[in-house]
Amino acid sequence: MNIRTAVVCLLLSAVTVSLSPAQRKEVVGYYPSWRGRDRNSLVIPATIPYDKLTIINYAFFTPRPDGTIAGKDSIGDALYLRGAPGSRLTDLAHQHGVKVLLSLGGWDDSDNFPAVAAGPKLRMAFAHACIEAIGAYGFDGIDIDWEFPGYPEHKGTPDDKRNFTTLLRTIRDSLSAYGRQTQRRYLLTAALPAELSHAADIEVKEIAEILDQLSLMTYDFSGPWDPRSYHNSPLYASQGADSGRSLDGAFKLYHRTYGIPADKINLGVAFYGKTFTHCTALNTPHEGADTAHFPIGLYYEILNNMGKFERRWDDQAKVPYLVSTEWNMLVCYDDPESIRAKADYVLEKGIHGLIIWEITGDHLPDGTTPLLDAIVSTFRTNH
């Protein structure tokens, strides 16, 4: 990328935009509480750009073996969920008309799901714990992020396929009963695998009848764990690549193969990238991730190092990548151009919306949010 192009991209991405009242596309931002204390507490509830979001998923609480739940980040929970009235994340979001869901699980904390989902007593205990959290903190619903039913490395079993459906139905029944008491309707959503290898272990059609929204994790299609470099979150597959490893492939899997209505599906966008050391081309061997220059790999870290790279564009996948001959490195990531292409795809296909992992990733010190703005401006302009 030359200097002129970089400046133009940054100027365009810095335009402040917000969702209009008529905007109906969902923009769901995951907020990992532990990130709130990064960069001198840059992204805390008081600084979240609520006007650009429709739902915030607070990440994460985790299921315990006895069916109860616990926060992953006790400091963040104390600051953001149990603060003074009016200062809590849920309070501030509601002031802007934004819902907040409690997200349970995540990659690091899904091991207890199989046992909790296996029996009626633990399922009921888990659902009851979800209701207690809603009452205590003012959440508007529950998001289940079980990664993944049937996955042996996270203690998965073949019974997870049926038990996942039953667990969701138990939660839904509890939400409905609680809603009758409070005269409200609470949302139930789930973050779901994007590829057939994991989706095959889920009763997709059955859970679609229970869930309000199915959110596909259309990122992490590739990373340092793979022998060859490839895009993290391509809109389409590159030539010769597996078509299922893309947003388009995931949407077709759920919409065409499983018959899920497009307006019940959210696709995922990544506000982070993947690095490959000793590698300067796609689909070539590498020697793992660069954690020295990119400890987290979030978008703001990539921007901070942009001067070391040449930006290239994969016109088939509709995503950029960066090459550094000096550092002998490849970075696969998303920028405003690729994010706009994904938002356009959502509009074209009649998809419900987008989920973001995660909203601190593009939040810059001056308060601008270039990737989030790319979503909102596309939805607003083409609504």
Catalytic residues, which ones?
Answer: 147
Residue 55 contacts residue 29 (beta carbons within 8 Å) = yes
Alpha-carbon gap, residue 104 to 110, rounded angstroms: 9
Q: Which of 164, 185, 162, 152 is nearest to 116 (CA)?
A: 164
Amino acid letter for position 312: R
Q: How far is residue 154's CA from residue 140's CA, in Å, rounded to a whole number?
A: 28
- For residue 150, with 0-12 CB atoms within 10 Å meaning exposed, 13-18 middle and 19 or more buried, which class applies? buried
* Tokens 């980040």, located at residue: 73
**Distances from the Cα of 87 to the Cαs of 78, 137, 301, in angstroms?**
12, 12, 29
SS3 104: strand
CA dihedral for 233, 235, 239, 243, sign (positive or negative): positive
To 5 degrees, how large is the angle CA 342–CA 352–CA 91? 105
Q: Locate 254 and state its tokens.
A: 């759920």
Cβ 90 vs Cβ 64: under 8 Å: no
A 10 A CB-CB count for 223 gives 18
Tell me the one-letter amino acid at 137.
Y
d(CA 190, CA 382) in angstroms, rounded, equals 27
- From start to end of the chain, where are the E strands? 26-32, 55-63, 69-71, 99-105, 141-145, 187-192, 213-216, 265-270, 274-277, 310-314, 319-324, 329-332, 353-357
DSSP state of 189: E
